[in-house]
Amino acid sequence: MRAFDLPNHTVDLPTNRTSRARVATISLLLLSAIALPRTAQSAVETTFDADLEGWAVFGDNVFYWVDGEGNPDGCLRIDDDAIGEWSVATAPATFLGDWTSLGVTDSLAYDAIHTMTNGSGNPPVMFRIEGPGGIATATRTGFPANVWNHFSIPIDPTAWTLESGTWSGLIGNVTAVELAAEMIFGDEVVRMDNIELGGTPVLVNPTDELDTFDDGDIGWSGHSASVSVVPEDGDTGPYLEVEEDRDGGRVVLPSWYGGSWTQWDGVGELSFSFFPPDPVFPSTNAVVELHGPGGTAMVETTLDPYVGATAEWIPIVLAIAETEWTMVRGTWSGLLEHVQEVVISADASTGNDRFGLDNVYRGVSGGAPEPHVPLQILDEEHSVCDFWSIRNASALALNPADGFLYALVNETIADGGGVYALTGPNAVHRLYSYDRPLGLVFTEDGAGFVTENYAGVLHRFVGMDGTAVWGDTFHTGDDDVAGLLIAPAGFDGPVVSGGDILITDHGNGGADGVWAASPDTAHLERELVPDPGSVDWYDLATDGSSVWVCDAIDDDVLSVIHPDGSTTPFPLSQNIPEMRVLAYDSGQHALYTMSSSSPVRLYRIDAATGDVTAVAEGIGSVGYGNLEIDSAARKLYLADDSMSRVYEICLPAGSSSVDEDVSHSPLTVTIAPNPLVSRSQIRLRLPHDASLEVDVLDATGRRVDRLASGWHEAGSVVLEWDGRDDQGTPVPSGAYFVRYVVDGKVSSSRAIVLR
């Protein structure tokens, strides 16, 4: 290579903001000739004399190798006709690894020339290095067009701006080197040549990676999208929210998820929890792409089972195996030698979509930690049997007509407020939209009732047949209707009858009270208990005779409501602050409630004596009415909206009368593995000999396969489903549901996800 003597130019680079190191003036050699001087041969160098040598350029551009346009000979050429994402050149593996042997006398440098069509400005950074231990950048401005420029920066922490982590942690494992490949904001042609690193990195083999976003969004970036960490509602805790700036945006994983994947070929996985965009339109997909010098591969996961609003964090598991991926270019083995970029997108509509990611893992199959269960059981008679990863669930209710569990999301309609099915064919879909609903209950024939807090309205819905306003004349000027309960048989008084809907109005700043409404005729609401003063009633429960109501103000007592509108106190053995939920278990003759103030806890109350026992803690936040009990199945359901969990808690053994009733429902149903790989095992435990039918249903409720039919003895029943229908034909990817009928009673389990 030829050399010419040219003048030096200096520029001040930003000081290291994190370490507050002194400001250092770094000399950059700005050259305006065809070729540049070299005082010593770099330990690692790319001259582009024959090909791209593993370099790639990401952003809005077309890049390729050309001969005869370099400085001299061949070079990397970038044609940028867009004003979108900034183009950056990404280094091959030879530039990556342990840089601790490099020091202030070593440098990172390259030559570039840009030819403008139109545009202005400078790239945000010229140099960027990244690794699990940190991120550092260096800026550069004031370079001319149409001449070769030489950009150089020493491997000296005072020359860089440390964006995160520590300098020592960063250079211990550099997983990405990025160089500016675009010099203006506009149309241009850029050529790059003679990329040099003045030292030899030591290869660092990638390790298993897991990001739960507890430490923020370090290393994550977006193409035509912005990324930010939301502190709650993830699976569990914080999660990464991706919002398109323009249609087709996508999120780029940190560079330490890349590198050599050869060690995981056939034995590894890429997995994550995915919250789909809202709304999801038919025939759209969540897409994962792998890019590298050796090729490009992609996987598309259909979102069709989640068309319409959804509340579920979806587990997506992709095997690192050629059979799982579609090769777009190159070879699978060549791609795995160096994965430079991992991208996730979900362009589910023509607008700017928004989706969530959590628990992103790359490593050995099955090596991802089990999902975190923040709930801590304090009473050994209880245990966590299962959970759903559901966002923002608040009130819960079982529908006795179909055996399915339903939930409210206490948000505005725009943010997903409404009633959702948690089990059954419509699981995790919003059935009806309501504005900040609080209370939910079903009658024996399956009619559902929902209260809207701010509007002070009672709604009625039946299945998918529609919804109607059922009551809207509660306390004038301050209607805050909340908890709902079907009055027990014989609960007859001047303004109430057994089977009526009982409704609390907690009157935020106004009158409190308890109302009664007819389940059969709209707008027949009557005030049963006028405001007695100094109460804030939220939720109700019954044992089939007595009716209790909980109070968010008076924390050492419940109130018993009588059909004539009078009340009597029910003292508790200890204070439970800010009770906003109440549920009854006939198996123990016990009430369950929760404290809304720290520490948030689940409590059991002896319904005869008022004795209080702490059952569980580690709950993020309490919604309203977020407990439901299936006494026959010995299950308590608890919604923790901020932790995106609905827990299924196994209750202590009940009384003999309930044990007899338990024969109508299996005690436990477990499904594993889920998502289905080659087959899933469905394990049921029957408390008594019983007739049993087990079917797999698709998202429309149509039966695709029957797994069991007939008489089964008490104990464990183990079944398997291989993702095929009853004709042996593989069924499409999506969510499927297990329906089981025990002695004529219909119930449903969670979805099986089939990729």
Taking 70 as the threshold, does the pLDDT of residue 31 lie above it? Answer: no
The answer to whether residue 516 sits within a structural domain is yes
Specify the pTM.
0.77
Per-residue pLDDT reduced to its tens digit, 191-226: 999 999 999 999 999 999 999 999 999 999 998 889
Residue 347 has what pLDDT? 77
CATH code for the domain of 728: 2.60.40.4070
Which of 660, 684, 714 delimits the end of a domain? 660
Q: What percent of the chain has pLDDT over 90?
A: 58
Q: Report if residue 493 sits inside a domain.
A: yes
pLDDT single digits (tens) 35-89: 334 334 458 999 999 999 999 999 888 999 999 999 999 999 999 887 677 899 9
pLDDT tops 70 at residue 17: no
On whether residue 45 sits in a domain, the answer given is yes
Last residue of a domain, one of 323, 343, 364: 364
Comparing 130-139, 466-475, 568-577, 729-738, which segment has the lowest mean pLDDT?
729-738
676 and 640 within one domain: no
* DSSP-assigned letter for residue 169: H
pLDDT at 167: 98
| Confidence at residue 743, expressed as pLDDT on a 0 to 100 scale | 78
Are 623 and 550 part of one and the same domain?
yes
Tell me how far apart the alpha carbons of residues 294 and 89 are, in angstroms, rounded to a whole number.
16
Look up the CATH number of the domain holding residue 504.
2.120.10.30
Given a contact cutoff of 8 angstroms between Cβ atoms, the answer to whether 748 and 424 are in contact is yes
Positive/negative CA dihedral, 740, 742, 743, 746: negative
Q: Per residue, what are the HEC states of 476-511?
A: CCCCCEEEEEECCCCCCCCCCCCCCEEEEECCCCCC
- pLDDT, tens only, 62-71: 999 999 999 9
Q: Kindly report which listed range (24-33, 360-369, 463-472) carries the lowest average pLDDT score.
A: 24-33
Question: Is the domain of 183 the same as that of 251?
Answer: no
734 and 304 Cβ atoms separated by less than 8 Å: yes
Query: Does 2 reside within a domain?
Result: no
Q: What is the CATH number of the domain that holds 357?
A: 2.60.120.430
Q: What is the C-alpha to C-alpha distance for residues 391 and 383, in angstroms, rounded to an integer?
A: 22
The verdict on 339 and 385 lying in the same domain is no
The pLDDT score that the predictor gives to residue 169 is: 97
C-alpha distances (whole Å) from 602 to each of 391, 484, 583, 585, 594 are 20, 20, 11, 14, 5
Q: How far apart (Å, rounded) are the C-alpha atoms in residues 323 and 320?
A: 9
Q: Tell which of 143, 174, 197 closes a domain.
A: 197
Residues ≥6 apart with Cβ < 8 Å to 39: none
Alpha-carbon distance 282 to 732, whole Å? 14
The percentage of the chain sitting over the pLDDT mark of 70, rounded to a whole number, equals 88
Section 556-577 average pLDDT: 94
pLDDT in tens, 394-421: 999 999 888 889 999 999 998 889 999 9
Q: What pLDDT, on a 0 to 100 scale, did the predictor assign at position 471?
A: 93
pLDDT surpasses 50 at 659: no
CA distance 117 to 199: 37
Q: How many domains does the chain have?
A: 4
Calculate the alpha carbon distances from 645 to 213, 246, 486, 639 in Å.
17, 32, 27, 6
Question: Lowest mean pLDDT: which of 3-7, 549-553, 669-673?
Answer: 3-7
Residues 6+ apart with CB under 8 A from 700: 425
* Domain limits for position 693: 666-754
Task: State the pLDDT at residue 12.
Answer: 33
Same domain assignment for residues 191 and 332: no
- Evaluated on CA atoms 537, 541, 543, 547, the torsion sign reads positive
> Does the pLDDT of residue 543 top 70, yes or no?
yes
Phi, psi of 172 (to 5 degrees): -65, -25
pLDDT in tens, 254-267: 999 999 999 999 99
Q: What is the mean pLDDT of residues 283-291?
A: 91
Query: pLDDT tens, 146-186?
Result: 999 999 999 999 999 999 999 999 999 999 999 999 998 88
**Same-domain pairing of 672 and 595:** no
- Determine the Cα angle at 595 with ends 589 and 597, to 5°: 175
Instruction: Answer yes or no: are the C-beta atoms of 392 and 622 closer than 8 Å.
Output: no
Tell me, yes or no, whether 26 lies in a domain.
yes
Mean pLDDT of the chain: 86
Domain-located, residue 3: no
Task: Give the amino acid at 653.
Answer: A
Q: Judge contact between 484 and 496, C-beta under 8 A.
A: no
Beta strands 62-66 and 149-154 are unpaired
Query: Is 204 among the domain residues?
Result: no
Mean pLDDT of 537-561: 92
Q: Which two tokens stand for residue 452?
A: 């809207």
**Residue 167 parent element (H or E):** helix 167-171
CB-CB contact of 235 with 273 (8 Å): yes
> Is residue 216 included in any domain, yes or no?
yes
Whether pLDDT at 337 is above 70: yes
Each residue's pLDDT tens digit, 346-405? 876 666 788 999 999 999 998 888 777 789 999 999 999 888 888 889 999 999 888 889
SS3 253: coil
Q: How many helices and strands in the chain, by DSSP H and E?
A: 3, 58
Whether residues 501 and 607 fall in one domain: yes
454-478 burial, b for 16+ CB within 10 Å, e for fewer? ebbbbbbbeeeeebeebbbebbeee
Q: Are residues 539 and 451 in the same domain?
A: yes
* Secondary structure of residue 660 in the 3-state scheme: helix
Q: How confident is the model at residue 668 (pLDDT cuts 50, 70, 90)?
A: low
Instruction: List Cα–Cα distances, 636 to 448, 599, 631, 667, in angstroms.
Output: 20, 20, 8, 12
User: Among candidates 556, 625, 554, 552, which has minimal Cα distance to 584?
Assistant: 625
Contact 649, 631 (CB under 8 A): no
Whether residue 327 sits in one domain with residue 408: no
Instruction: Tell which wins on pLDDT, 475 or 130.
Output: 130
Distance of CA 238 to the CA centre of its chain: 9
413 lies in the same domain as 552: yes
What integer pLDDT is reported at residue 745 of this predicted model?
A: 72
Tokens of 159: 């020359």
Q: Reply yes or no on whether the pLDDT at 732 is more than 70.
A: yes
Higher pLDDT, 279 or 644: 644
**319 with 420, same domain?**
no
pLDDT score for 19: 29
Chain segment 323-332, per-residue pLDDT in tens = 999 999 999 9
| Residues 438 and 490 placed together within one structural domain of the fold | yes
